[in-house]
Amino acid sequence: MNTERCDVAVIGGGPAGSTAAALLARRGHRVMLLEKAHHPRFHIGESLLPMNLPLFERLGVLDKVRALGVLKPGADFEADNERGYNTFAFRRALGDSPPHAFQVWRADFDRMLFEHARGCGALALEGHEVVQCEQAGPRDTRLEVRTDAGETYRVDARYVVDASGRDTFLSARRKLRRRNRLHQSAAIFGHFRGAATRAGEDAGNISIYRFEHGWMWMIPLPEGVMSVGAVCRPDYLKQRRGPTLDFLLATLQRNPGLWRRIEHAELIGNKVHVTGNYSYDSKRLGGPGWMLIGDAFAFVDPVFSSGVYLAMTGAEQAATAVDAVLREPAIEKQLLRRLERRYRQGIRRFSFFIYRFNDPVMDRLFRQPSNRLQIEQGMISMLAGDLFDTPRVLRRLRLFKLVYAVECLRDWRRWRAERSYRIAQARTRFAGGNTSVDRA
């Protein structure tokens, strides 16, 4: 078996893997980037966040992203007002996040990042699948790679970065992957031509809708295409009978506001995508000589479009850490601990909103946002992805949690009062019925 040697082997050529490979190659390391598929390949997750943009600039791809994407000035959510929705415009964010983001075809976006990594000096190979991994020591890992031409070879690497996405290559083999028991979901979606966009400056917004089994999205893409789908609880998806297309359309009709925008649109190619097992994480981020980044470590419900940003910012941090560890191995444990803490903090801050997104109190706070104490602007900063390093944003998010808790308490008291009233009414009716019987 032929053997290749490198400093860093990166498994997976999505946004996380390509980012890490490009940055490590720039630092002078010999990097192999191994992607089992061929670009362009289909992937969901088309909506980016404003906090992606500074990272694109540091990576050197901002102009390329701009050429690929539709300008995204904000996110809008259903509301009981004249327009029927509220826009959370990114230009109103508290921190220094950019005033817009982009929405892209992921196939084109991922291919661009992969080619950029190659241009930065990484040996970027497509159709090369890592099938086995054996670690002889902290700086000695052997990978077995199979090409789609049927050939097999070995890679000896000083460090392995797993960016294999939802395949979770290392996490699965090390039995680290664990299902998120607090929040499970699945998705069904397609791409439509002729759907109605928002008016004026809101035309590029991502639109979020709720329904009784989850939430729905509408994402404007290049060339007049609209990505439309629903994230729902798996038990709802299991109810589908007959053609998947019919189930998708029946699901989208459950929200009248969304349906009005697509009822005359055409589903491109009548092609419907279904994916499940959305939410999971890993027990550890890494160990001596290996690290998980992006979806290979964790994935959360995509209601706030956090996936690509968390993957790429994690990859950037990982590249810095791996570079330092290869030069000074003694600091590895400390760096891994720091990276994992930071990554989990970001996931927790998004997850607070995700887990509660469909409850009545959170629905009301999004339908009727208040900017007292700049809380609404703090929410906008969260939607922009600015939830790591800006103290005044983090303070507003803590205030939001307090407001949410108070509103929940009020709802509970209201529910308890209404329940007591219903019970009293029922007792009155029952007592009246008994009196009538007695008199008869």
Structure tokens of 33?
């980037």
Strands 152-162 and 2-11, sheet pairing: parallel
What average pLDDT does range 415-435 have in this prediction? 66
Within a domain: residue 376?
no
Question: In this predicted structure, what is the pLDDT of residue 66?
Answer: 97
pLDDT of residue 438: 36
Say if residue 83's pLDDT is above 50.
yes
Please check whether residues 58 and 164 belong to one and the same domain: yes
Give the C-alpha distances (Å, rounded to integers) separating 128 from 35, 131, 145, 153, 211.
Answer: 6, 9, 6, 10, 41
The answer to whether residue 400 is domain-embedded is no
The reply to whether 148 and 26 lie within a common domain is yes
Q: SS3 of 315, please?
A: helix
Coil, helix or strand at residue 68: helix
**Last residue of a domain, which of 257, 275, 293?**
275
pLDDT (tens digit per residue) in 221-274: 999 999 999 999 888 988 888 899 999 999 999 999 999 999 999 999 999 999
Residue 192 is assigned to a structural domain of this protein: yes
121 and 222, same domain (yes or no): no
Q: What is the mean pLDDT of residues 387-397?
A: 95
In a domain, 170, yes or no: yes
For residues 127 and 8, state if they share a domain. yes
Contact 16, 163 (CB under 8 A): yes
**Would you place residue 277 in the very low, low, confident or very high pLDDT band (cuts 50, 70, 90)?**
low
> CA nearest 157: which of 4, 330, 322, 319?
4
- What average pLDDT is seen over the chain? 93
Degrees to nearest 5, angle at CA 309 with 363 and 184? 50
Q: How many domains does the chain have?
A: 2
**What is the rounded CA–CA span in Å between residue 289 and residue 409?**
48
Please report which confidence band the pLDDT of residue 434 belongs to, taking 50, 70 and 90 as the band edges.
very low
> Tens digit of pLDDT for each residue in 94-107?
989 999 999 999 99
The pLDDT tens digits for 28-57 are 999 999 999 999 999 989 999 999 999 999
Residue (of 209, 189, 192, 211) closest to 263 by Cα position: 192
Domain at 328, CATH number: 3.50.50.60
Nearest Cα residue to 381 out of 103, 101, 97, 102: 97
Q: How many residues does the chain have?
A: 440
* Beta strands 273-275; 101-103: pairing state: unpaired
* 265 and 167 in a common domain: no
Verify that 140 and 260 share a domain, yes or no: no
Give the model confidence (pLDDT) of 281-318 as tens digits.
999 999 999 999 999 999 998 899 999 999 999 999 99
Percent of the chain with pLDDT over 90: 85
* CATH number of the domain that residue 218 is part of: 3.30.9.100
Judged against a pLDDT cut of 70, whether residue 125 lies above it is answered with yes
Domain edge (last residue) among 294, 320, 353? 353
Would you say residue 421 lies in a domain?
A: no
Q: Are 160 and 32 in contact (CB under 8 A)?
A: no
Query: Percent of the chain at pLDDT above 70?
Result: 96
Q: If pLDDT is split at 50, 70 and 90, which confidence band does 427 have? A: confident
Among 330, 353, 376, identify where a domain stops. Answer: 353
CA-CA distance, 232 to 226, in Å (whole number)? Answer: 19
Query: 439: pLDDT confidence band, cut at 50, 70 and 90?
Result: very low
Residues 292 and 331 both lie in one domain:
yes
Q: Could you tell me if 168 and 190 lie in one domain? A: no
pTM beyond cutoff 0.75:
yes
Are 222 and 169 found together in one domain?
no
Predicted pLDDT at 412: 87
pLDDT exceeds cutoff 70 at 336: yes
DSSP assignments along 328-359, one per residue: -GGGHHHHHHHHHHHHHHHHHHHHHHHHTTTS
Same domain, 176 and 63: yes
Give CA–CA dist 77/87, Å, rounded.
7
Q: Are 287 and 271 in contact (CB under 8 A)?
A: no
Is there a single domain that holds both residue 57 and residue 205?
no
Asked if residue 138 and residue 230 are part of one domain, the reply reads no
- Residue 303 within any structural domain of the chain: yes
pLDDT confidence of 435, banded at 50, 70, 90?
very low
Structural domain contains residue 287: yes
Distances (CA, A) of 148 to 80, 144, 155, 185, 333: 54, 13, 16, 32, 36
Give the model's pLDDT for residue 432: 59
pLDDT in tens, 197-230: 999 999 999 999 999 999 999 999 999 999 999 9
Residue 279 has pLDDT above 50, yes or no: yes
Range of the domain at 55: 2-69+104-180+280-353
Whether 38 is covered by a domain: the verdict is yes
Q: What pLDDT is recorded for position 297? A: 98
What dihedral angle (degrees, nearest 10) is formed by the CA atoms of 365, 367, 373, 374?
A: 120
Residue 283 near residue 273, CB atoms below 8 Å: no
